[in-house]
Structure 1
Amino acid sequence: MEDSIHEVENENINQRGNESKSVSSLSADRLREMLSQPELATLYTDLKAYGERALNEPMPSLSFRLYRQFSDTGERKTYEEAYFDRRGRLAAVAMLALDTTRPDALQALEEMLWDVCGEYTWCLPAHLGTGEVNQVDGNIDLFAAETVHMLAEIVTIHAERLDRLVIERIRSEAEWRIFTPLYREQRKFHWQTADHNWSAVCGGCCGMAALLLLEDESTLQESISHTVSCMNAFLSGYGEDGGCAEGIGYWVYGFGYFTYYTEMLREYSEGELDLLTGSKITAIAAFPLRVHLSGGTYVNYSDSVEQEEIPSGLLSLLASRVGLQIDLPFHIPLLTDDPCHRWAHLLRNVMWSDPPVYGDEGASGQAERGFIFQNLGWMIVKGSLDSLDTKRTYGGPLQVAISIKGGHNDEPHNHNDLGQFIIHCGGENILCDPGAGLYSQAYFAPGREQLFHISSSGHNVPLIEGQEQCSGRQAQAHVLEAKLAEGCGELDTTLDLTSAYSGAASLARYTRQFHWEMSPDGSKDRAELRLIDRFQWKSRMVSSAERFSSVDDSDAGCSSVVERWMSRVQPEVVKSGNLRWQGAHGAIHMTYDANQWKILTEKLDTVDHDNVPVTFYRTSLSWTGVIDETDVRIESSNPLETVCEVRFIIEPKMGETEVSMRE
C-alpha cells in the first residue's frame, strides 16, 4: 500500500497542471437539502438546541489564567472544556446559518469566526510544553490543524454570504499560523513522520485547508506532496491485518481524517489522485466491525472506550468506496455525543450518511465470527447463546465474545497489558479493560505506568513477585499458538509473557494459555473459557507466609503470584472455589482451586477519560501453596512450576429462583 501511494505522489501530483479545480460538494444548497432528510431529524434537533444556546450566550473565554493552568498545575480539563465548547458552538451556528431566513445566525457566525481568529493560539496548552511565546509561534498540533480545516470549510460553504473582511481574516490567519511555517518555510514537526493518528489528523486537516484556501499553485502542489507523505507515515503504523494498536477511538480519529483528506483530494483531482485503494486499506476499514462485540460495545484496549460512536458518514463512505459490509444498526452520532465537537465528523455525517448500506447486527454472511490480527497480536471470537430459554427471555440469541491481547508495551497510547483479555456477554464487557483515564500532565510524563489505567494493576494480568509488567518494546507477547476454528467458534492461544516481568528475579518463564469454546457440553446456552497460567521458577518458591513484603499492602500482595480480574460488576462468592459476576444480561462463573489460591475483592474508585467517576472491582487470587521439591531437581532444564488453572462459564443471567436452585 505504501508503494502505491508513493507511485501516486511521484507520477501524478505534478501532472495535474495549473487547471483550476474545486471541491464542489461543499455547497450550502447541498447541505440544506441533506439536513431536510428525515433520518437527520434528531441530529438537526440537537444542532438547533446547541446553536440556539450559542446565539443567546457569550462565547466561553480562553483566559490567561486558564491558559497557564496546565503549566502551573498539570490540569488541562478546564481549558479544554471551554476550547471545545467554542468549537461546538461555531459548528452548530454554521449549520443554523444555512437557513437564509436567519440573519441572526449569520451575524453570530461572523462574530464567532472573528473571535476564533483572535485566539492567542489554536493549539492546546498541553501540547505546548510550558506555553512560552517561542513554543506557540508557528506551532501546529492536532487542534490547530482541526481549527484551520474547520474555518476553511465553513468559509467555503458560506462564501457568498459572509462579510468579505471575515473571509480575508480567515485566509490571513491560516497563512501565518499554518501555511507559512508548514509549506513555505517547511519547518519540521514531529507528527510529519509519526506512525499514528497525529500524522493523519495534522497532515490531513492542513492539507484539506490548503485545497480550499491556497491560491498559489506551487504552494498547493507542495501541500499535496507533503500531505501524501504524512499519509504514508500514518499507514506505516498499520500491518497488513489492518489492526489499530491505539484502539477503536483512535481508529475513528486517525483513519477518519485519512479518509476525509483522500476523498477531498480525489474530488479535487477529478479522480486522478485516489489513495483509498488496496488490500491494506480494505483491512483497515474493516477494523471497527471486527472489534465490535455486540450492542455497540467494542474491544477497548489502550486509550479507547467501550461504547464508541462510529461516524455514520465515515462508515457509509467506506461501504461505497471499499465495499465494507456494515452489520451495525444505523445511527447518526449527535454533535453533543463528541466531547470535542469535531466539525469534520459532523459535516460528513450530514453529507455522507446512507442508511441502506447498513445491515442488521449479526446478519448472516456479513459478520466475521472470529479474527486473529497477526501483526497486532489481538484475537477475537464471537458467538451466540441461542437456546429456547434464551430466545424466550431475550427475544433472540444472546451475543457473547472473548478478546485476547498480545503485542508489546511500547505501543501508541500504551498500557502495560500483555495477556489482557475481555469476556463479553449481552452488550456488556463483564470482565473488562479500564480503557483511557483522565488526560493530565502526569498521564504522558515519565512514571505514567504507575497510573491505574495504564499499569498492569488495572488489567486482567498477574502480579509476579510483587512486580507489575514493565514498559518498553522489549516487553513483548510471543505468540506460541493461535488457532481459530471459526466454524465451531473455538480458539486456542498460548502466549509467552516472560519478557513483560523482567523485574521478577526468580521467574524463569511465564506462559498464558486460553481455550475458548461455544457450547462445551453440547447445550446452546453457555460458552466456556479455560485459562492456564504456568509460572516456572529458577529456584524454590514458598508460601505467602514466608514471602517478602510487596508493594501492595493487601494479603494478596504477599504472594509470589497474584492473579487479577477486573470488572465493573461486584462479584459474589457462590461457594468455596466458585465466584460469579452477574451482569445485565449474562453471568460469568469462575471456578478455581481454593486449596491453592486465596481470593480477595477490592473496590477501586477512579475517573474515566471524561472525568466521570467510575468504580471497578479487582478480584485477586493469591497463591498460598508450597511446591514440594522432594523429587524435583532445581535445574534450568527442569524448573519448578506454579500453575493457575481457572474456568469461566458464560451463560444467560439467571433469575433469583434459578440462582438459589443452582446454589
Structure 2
Amino acid sequence: MFLFFVMLQINALGQHTLERHLSGAVLTNTVNRIDDWRLEKKNEWKKAIQALSILEKSHIMKVAEDANLFTWPSLLATKYLEYKTDGNRTRYEDDINTRRSIVSHLVIGELVEGKGRFIPQIINGLWLMMEESTWVSPAHIVVQKSGIGLPDPLDDYIDLGAGRVAADLAMVYLLLGDELNQISPMITKKLKDVLQSRILNPYLVRDDFWWMALQSNNMVNNWNIWINTNVLKVALLVEEDASRLKMIIQKLAHSADKFIDSYAEDGACEEGPSYWLHAGGELGQMLLWLEDVSDGEVTFKEEHKLFNIGNYILNSHIYRNRYINFADAEAIQVPYPAKIWAYGTLYNDDNLKAYASYLTTLKSPSMSLGTVQDFLMHASIYNELSNHRKDFIAPQFHFYESLGQATMRSLNKKGNLFLATIGSNNGVSHNHNDVGSYMLYLDSTPVLIDVGVGTYTKETFSRNRYTLWNMQSQWHNLPIINGIQQKDGRSYHAEDVEYITNNETAQYRVNVAKAYPKEAAVQSWMRTIKMHAGNNEIRVEEQYQLEEFKKPQSISFISKIKPQLVKDGFFLQLDNGKKVFINFERETVTFSLENKEIEDPRLIKVWGGMLYKMNVLIKSMELRNQVIYKIIAN
C-alpha cells in the first residue's frame, strides 16, 4: 500500500514558540495547580450551560430526546475492511460518526437538564465506544506496521478520530463522572483506563507517529496540531500523575512547535479555509487552554505570527457561507465561530470577534452538537458571541506572499466582483494542480470556479490522485500548453509572483511555466490580472514564450453557469439577471464548450449536476505571443 500524504515542510531553524512559553517554573506551577483548575473548569462549563438561551436549550432537548430512542447497531469488521477491498471509507465512517453524534447529543442533553434521564443511554454509548477495537479510521490504519486492513491490537496508533473521541470522553469523565459512578464506578474506571492505554501511554512512549514530526525528515500538516490539541485536553482533564502530565505537555509543545514553524510569517494556511478549522482553528484552542490552565502566567499576545494564522480565515471569506476553495477546501461552509472568537480573545481583536459573531447569524440554532468539546467551546462564550457587533471588515485587496494567494474586491455598486488567485506550488498539502489559477464571484454567485474535492476514497490519497479529473489543471482556470497539463510535486511551482495595489486597482502577476513538465516546451507563461474596481472590470494578459510549437495553446474556463457565445467572447448569466462578459481581442481565439456531468454527491451538493468548461483555443502558432481578455460585470 502506497501511503500518500503531502505535508508542509518544517522550518529547520525552529522558533520554539510554545517551548519558550512553557519552560521552567511556569510549567511546574501549571501542573501543581491542575486539580484546582479542573474544579474551576467544571464549574465554569456547568454555569455557562445553564446560561444558554431558551431557544438553544429547547433545541438541545429535542435532539437529546430523539437520541434517547436510538438503538445501537454493531460496527462490522467487513465494513471496516471495505477501505482495503474497494476503497470506500464512508460507509464505516458514517456508522461510527452516527454513534459519536448520538453520544454527544445525549451527554449535552444531560448537561442541560441534569435529571439523570439520559444517563442509561449515555452509559450504553460510552461502553460501546470503549469496547471498540480501535478509534482509528480504516483510511488511517494503513500506517500500522501490519499495513492496511483490520487494526492490530498490539500496535496502538493515534489518528484524528482517536484524538477527537478521546477529548470528548475526557470531558464526559470530568463533567458526568459523579453521575456515572452512581450507576457503577466501573464506568469511569474503564474510561480512565482506555484514555491512558489508547492515548496518553502511546503518546508518551512513541516518537514514530509521522504527525508528531519528531524524527528527521518528518513533515507536518493539520494532523499535528489537531491531534496535539486533543491530547492536551485529555491530559489536562484526566492525567493524575504530575510528572507524567509535565512530560506530556513538554513533548506536546515540542511537537506542536513543528506545526507553527511550518507556517510562514504571514500565517497563510496552504490547506485552505476548511482545513484551517482543524489547523489554525485547533491551534487557537491550544493557545487558549494553555493560557487558561497557567492562570495567566502564559500569554501569546506578542506572537504576531500566531495572530496572522488566526486571521487567515477572515481573509479567505468571500460572502456569507462562500469561501476560497483552492486544493481540498470546501466552497460552502460556516466556520465554527468559537474558533475564530478564540483569536479575537487571545489578541483582543474586535474585528475577528465581529466576524465570529456574524457567523452565528448563518445558523439557527447556532450551536454545534456534533461533539461535546465543540459544544462546550461555544457555551463558554455564548452570550458574548451572540451579543457582539457583527459588522466586520474584510480587506478590499489582500495578498499572502507565501501562497501567492491574492484577493480583490471591486465593492462596486453595480455588483461586487471578487477574484482570488493561487500561485504557490503543486506539492502543498491536499494539493490540486492549480498554480496560477483563479476563481471569480459576482456578489455571492460563483462565476468561474475551482471545482474542489469530491467524496474521499482510497484513490484521493494514493499515487492515483491525479487521475481524478478535478485534481487536474485542465479542470482549473488555466492554460493547457502544447497539449500538456501541469504536473504534481513541489518542484512544479510559480515564479515571479507580484502583487501591486492602490486605491482602486490591484494587479497580480505570476509566471506559471515551471508548473508544467518539460514536455510542455514553455520558457515563460506570464499571467497578469488587473482589477479596476471603479469600472467593475478585470483585464487579463496571457503572455508566453514557447521553446517549440507542438499543439495549439488553450485556456480553460470552468463554471456552473452555461456560457453563451457572443462575438469575440462569451457571457455567463446569473439567476438575478446580471451578466459577466469575457471578451477577447478580435479574431485571436476560437471557442468550444465541454459539458461535465457530476455524479459525486459531495460535488453535486455544491455545484449541482452539471459543470461547463469553455475551451478557448489560441489561433496563433508563433512561439512568442500575447492574448488579452477582459472580464466585465454589468
TM-score above 0.5: yes
CA contact (8 A) 1:244 1:287 kept: yes
Letter in 1 for 2:172: I
1:581 maps onto 2:572 in alignment:
yes
1:294 maps onto 2:277 in alignment:
no
The DSSP-based 3-state class of the residue aligned with 1:385 is coil
Q: 2:591 aligns with which of 599, 618, 630?
A: 599
Please say which of residues 55-64 and 285-294 is displaced more in the overlay.
Answer: 55-64
Paired with 2:40 and 2:330, the residues of 1 have a C-alpha distance of 33
CA contact (8 A) 1:145 1:205 kept: yes
1:566 maps onto 2:558 in alignment:
yes
Alignment partner, residue 657 of structure 1 = none
Alignment partner, residue 348 of structure 1 = 377
Alignment partner, residue 165 of structure 2 = 147
Paired with 2:594 and 2:612, the residues of 1 have a C-alpha distance of 6
Paired with 2:241 and 2:201, the residues of 1 have a C-alpha distance of 12
Paired with 2:313 and 2:552, the residues of 1 have a C-alpha distance of 39
Paired with 1:422 and 1:11, the residues of 2 have a C-alpha distance of 49
Paired with 2:587 and 2:390, the residues of 1 have a C-alpha distance of 47
* Deviation of 1:12 (Å): 4.3
Please say which of residues 121-130 and 399-408 is displaced more in the overlay.
Answer: 399-408
Residues 467-616 of structure 1: pairs in structure 2 closer than 5 A = 467-485=484-502, 487-488=503-504, 490-520=505-535, 527-539=536-548, 541=549, 559-573=551-565, 575-585=566-576, 586-593=578-585, 595-606=587-598, 607=600, 609=602, 612=605, 614-616=609-611
Paired with 2:202 and 2:133, the residues of 1 have a C-alpha distance of 17
Letter in 1 for 2:163: A
CA spacing shift, 1:73–1:345, aligned 2, 3 Å: same
Q: How far does the alpha carbon of each residue in 1:249-269 deviate from its partner, in whole angstroms, 9 at most, with x for none?
A: 111111222222222222222
The DSSP-based 3-state class of the residue aligned with 1:104 is coil
1:436 maps onto 2:419 in alignment:
no
Alignment partner, residue 304 of structure 1 = 329
Q: 1:97 aligns with which of 97, 110, 124?
A: 110
Alignment partner, residue 264 of structure 1 = 289
CA spacing shift, 1:291–1:530, aligned 2, 3 Å: same
Paired with 1:502 and 1:243, the residues of 2 have a C-alpha distance of 27
* Deviation of 1:457 (Å): 2.0
CA spacing shift, 1:46–1:250, aligned 2, 3 Å: farther
* Deviation of 1:192 (Å): 0.5
* Deviation of 1:621 (Å): 0.4
CA spacing shift, 1:280–1:493, aligned 2, 3 Å: same
1:171 maps onto 2:167 in alignment:
no
Paired with 1:480 and 1:314, the residues of 2 have a C-alpha distance of 32
The DSSP-based 3-state class of the residue aligned with 2:111 is coil
Alignment partner, residue 614 of structure 2 = 619
> How many residue pairs are counted as aligned between the two chains?
597
Q: How far does the alpha carbon of each residue in 1:119-169 deviate from its partner, in whole angstroms, 9 at most, with x for none?
A: 111010000121344387311101101111110012211122112221111
1:374 maps onto 2:387 in alignment:
no
Q: How far does the alpha carbon of each residue in 1:229-287 deviate from its partner, in whole angstroms, 9 at most, with x for none?
A: 22211112221111110000111111222222222222222122344651101111111
1:109 maps onto 2:122 in alignment:
yes
Paired with 1:2 and 1:208, the residues of 2 have a C-alpha distance of 24
Tell me the TM-score normalized by structure 1.
Answer: 0.84
CA contact (8 A) 1:514 1:530 kept: yes
Paired with 1:448 and 1:17, the residues of 2 have a C-alpha distance of 45
CA contact (8 A) 2:48 2:380 kept: no
Paired with 2:234 and 2:361, the residues of 1 have a C-alpha distance of 25
Alignment partner, residue 188 of structure 1 = 208
Paired with 2:153 and 2:585, the residues of 1 have a C-alpha distance of 58
Letter in 2 for 1:111: N
The DSSP-based 3-state class of the residue aligned with 1:215 is coil
CA contact (8 A) 2:360 2:366 kept: no
The DSSP-based 3-state class of the residue aligned with 2:555 is strand
CA spacing shift, 1:480–1:287, aligned 2, 3 Å: closer
* Deviation of 1:588 (Å): 1.3
Paired with 2:127 and 2:552, the residues of 1 have a C-alpha distance of 63
Paired with 1:357 and 1:372, the residues of 2 have a C-alpha distance of 31
Q: How far does the alpha carbon of each residue in 1:376-424 deviate from its partner, in whole angstroms, 9 at most, with x for none?
A: 21111223122xxx5xxxxxxx433111111111001111100111112
Residues 369-448 of structure 1: pairs in structure 2 closer than 5 A = 369-386=396-413, 390=414, 398-448=415-465
The DSSP-based 3-state class of the residue aligned with 1:161 is helix
Please say which of residues 224-233 and 588-597 is displaced more in the overlay.
Answer: 588-597
Instruction: State the structure with more CA Rg.
Output: 1
Q: CA RMSD in A?
A: 2.6
Tell me the TM-score normalized by structure 2.
Answer: 0.88
CA contact (8 A) 1:313 1:352 kept: yes
Paired with 2:554 and 2:40, the residues of 1 have a C-alpha distance of 58
* Deviation of 1:13 (Å): 5.1
Paired with 2:469 and 2:50, the residues of 1 have a C-alpha distance of 43
CA spacing shift, 1:60–1:587, aligned 2, 3 Å: farther
CA spacing shift, 1:3–1:127, aligned 2, 3 Å: closer
Paired with 2:458 and 2:376, the residues of 1 have a C-alpha distance of 32
Paired with 1:29 and 1:8, the residues of 2 have a C-alpha distance of 25
CA contact (8 A) 1:314 1:352 kept: no
Paired with 2:422 and 2:282, the residues of 1 have a C-alpha distance of 26
The DSSP-based 3-state class of the residue aligned with 1:98 is helix
CA spacing shift, 1:192–1:609, aligned 2, 3 Å: farther
Alignment partner, residue 95 of structure 2 = 82
Structure 2 unaligned spans of 5+: 1-13, 143-147, 214-218
Letter in 1 for 2:68: L
Q: How far does the alpha carbon of each residue in 1:472-517 deviate from its partner, in whole angstroms, 9 at most, with x for none?
A: 11111113431121x22x1112111111112434322211111111
Letter in 2 for 1:433: D
Q: 1:205 aligns with which of 222, 230, 238?
A: 230
Structure 1 unaligned spans of 5+: 391-397, 521-526, 542-546, 548-558, 628-639, 652-663
Alignment partner, residue 73 of structure 1 = 86
* Deviation of 1:321 (Å): 1.9
Letter in 2 for 1:420: S
The DSSP-based 3-state class of the residue aligned with 1:493 is strand
The DSSP-based 3-state class of the residue aligned with 1:439 is coil
CA contact (8 A) 1:148 1:209 kept: yes
CA contact (8 A) 2:396 2:411 kept: no
Letter in 2 for 1:376: L
Paired with 1:47 and 1:349, the residues of 2 have a C-alpha distance of 13
Alignment partner, residue 158 of structure 1 = 176
* Deviation of 1:177 (Å): 0.8
Paired with 1:143 and 1:332, the residues of 2 have a C-alpha distance of 29
CA contact (8 A) 1:2 1:236 kept: yes
Letter in 2 for 1:374: E
Paired with 1:250 and 1:603, the residues of 2 have a C-alpha distance of 30
The DSSP-based 3-state class of the residue aligned with 1:52 is helix
Alignment partner, residue 7 of structure 2 = none
Alignment partner, residue 393 of structure 1 = none
CA contact (8 A) 2:447 2:560 kept: yes
Alignment partner, residue 661 of structure 1 = none
